[in-house]
Each structure stands twice: as C-alpha cells, then as structure tokens.
Amino acid sequence: MTPHPDVLARARLLTDPALGTSVVHALERITGRPARRSHGTGPDGPFVYVGAALPEPLRTRDLVWFHSVNAGTDALLAGGRWPEDALLTRTVGRMGERIAQYAAAWILAECQSVPEHTAQHARAEWRRLPAEFVGGQTVVVHGTGHIGSAVAGLLRRLSLRTVGVRRAPGGETPHFDHIVPAGSAEEAAELGAARWVVSTLPSTAATERFFDAARFTAMSGASFLNAGRGATVDMAALESALRTGTVRRAVLDVLPDEPAGPQAPVWRLPRTVVTSHSAGITADEDVVTDFARCWEAVVRGRAPALTVDTARGY
C-alpha cells in the first residue's frame, strides 16, 4: 500500500549500515531529512527504510515503506512476515541493460568460438574455426518484464528472432517478435526451435525448478543462459541435459546455493561457465536514481512503477 503523503511527511529515514556514505547523503537530500543508520531497532512512529535486508525487529506496523537496494526481493520476503500495508519497492536501475549486454556477449562469444579459441591458445595450437552467424536464429527469453524486455531488445537489434515466455497474459511487449504462454505446447515448440534460451525469471513459489527435465529435453540442443535466479533451475535435470546433448552449453550467473564452494558439483558440469552472480551488479547511482523516482511518486500519492507485489514476489 502506498503511504499517505501526510504519513510520509513525518516518517523517519533509516538506512542499512552497509550503505555507502555518498548514498546516504543523497537519500537525505531527496527526502529532506536526516538519515539514521539502523542496527536493528526502529524509532517510535512511522519510518522509511532503505537497505538490502529487513531485520526482524523492524518488521512492525510502523514501517511504511522499504526500498530494496537490490532488484530481487525473494530473500527479503522469505526472511519473515512482511508488515501489513508496508510498501515495498526495488532497485532496477540499468540492470536490464547490463544483463542484456551479458547475454549478448555470451551469445556472440559462442558464435565466434571464443571458448574454443581460448583453449587452442592455451595449447599453442593454430587451427581455423568457423564462425556461426547469429542473425535469423531464435532466442527464447523467459520473463518479459523490465529485464527480459531489455534482453530481447538488444538481441533483436542483433537480428535474432525473439520469443518471450510468460505466465500472466497482458502488457505491452514491443521487443519480442512472439509471445507464448508458459507451460503451453507453443512454448515447447519454440524451445525446440531455439538456438539460445535465456532466463530472467525471479524466484517465487511458482518458478521454483521451473526449468525441469521436460523443458531441458524440449530444447533440442539450445544453449542455456540463466541470469535470473538459481532456484528456477533443477540442477540435476540440467546436468542430465548437458550430458545427453539436449542442452549444448550452459552459462550460469546464478545458482541455487551461493556462493559455490570449490567442491560444488556445478564446477564439474560439462560445457558450463559460472560467472558468480555478476551479470547485473547494482551501482550506487542506481539506488539513488530509483529511490528518487519512487519518492516522487509516493509524494504525489501514486504507486511507484517499481512497487513489488508481495503476494507474487515480484
């Protein structure tokens, strides 16, 4: 629920102790009030909190708004009961652009045989390798929100055919050539036609192990790139698909269990690269810019565009 402007006017500003000084000063300028770094206790009366996590003692009726410095809020919502009527917003910033560049980089690297050339260089081996033309091939993007749309937009400019997969109908999707419902026969057909499959899915109860044996089997040799959340992938099913060849390669920026220790099985998956949750690192400027936009909306009595539906998890 969007807090009433009168309540917002008298709300205290609390910040996560981990936030940088420059960010805190910027938040003070935006809100016109001093910030107090919170170590787990809140003030008497309404307050706004900006940070990565919400300590249990702050999950009270006095919390009117929490702005997350991260794009994903699954860990935040799983951390305990969410205060009734408290607004939750998130930071997206330029994450869509960053993840789009990440996806494009790995797709082009595969087309130009970068992994093979790198291996040949290590062996001091001279052997010409053919390049694969990216134009006209199909990429299936799971998730058609802010990040998925940015991915599709950049890949479409590289002349790929972009297919979006989503669970809920509705909404504009200008960067996709085609949209299919999740779990439909159309999705299975597009997975079979895809050269690449990119996931930008959030972690919710509905997306847990979304990429299962059936979806990986349907891919028929596509390369799989996960820049969403690790919990959306059944890792045993992915390993089986990599070993049988229904998945050609995997690039995993996120894992079900992070960080992965040296003995984690993921390091031994064939034709797989793990990039340690670095595809869309949030910058301080993203936090400040998105909070400012949310603040302006709330002051005007509007729901910010970056509001999270706490029931759905995104």
Strand order in the sheet with 161-166: 178-181, 161-166, 138-142, 196-199, 222-226, 247-252, 272-274
Instruction: Decide: 276 and 255 in contact? Cβ < 8 Å.
Output: no
Between CA 140 and CA 122 the distance in angstroms is 33
The span from the first CA to the last CA of the chain, in angstroms, equals 15
Q: Which residues are CB-neighbours of 252 under 8 A, at least 6 positions away? A: 225, 226, 230, 233, 266, 272, 273, 274, 275
The number of beta carbons lying within 10 Å of the beta carbon of residue 45 is 11
Q: Out of 156, 178, 248, 277, which one is annotated catalytic?
A: 277
**Cα–Cα distance, 260 to 240 (Å, whole number):** 20
C-alpha Rg value of the chain to the nearest Å: 22
248 in active site: no
Give catalytic status of residue 229 as yes or no: yes
Structure tokens at 38: 């919170």
> How remote is the C-alpha of 264 from its chain's centroid?
23
- Is residue 198 a contact partner of residue 151, using CB atoms and an 8 Å limit? yes
Q: Which of 132, 258, 285, 296 is catalytic?
A: 258
Three-class secondary structure of residue 273 per DSSP? strand
Q: Looking at 175, 195, 229, 249, which residue is catalytic?
A: 229
Q: What is the C-alpha to C-alpha distance for residues 215 and 287, in angstroms, rounded to an integer? A: 35
Task: Give me the half-sphere count of Cα atoms (radius 13 Å) on the Cβ side of residue 305.
Answer: 9
Taking the C-alpha atoms of residue 313 and residue 145, their distance in angstroms, rounded to an integer, is 13
**Quick check: is 110 catalytic?**
no
The residues assigned a catalytic role are 229, 258, 277
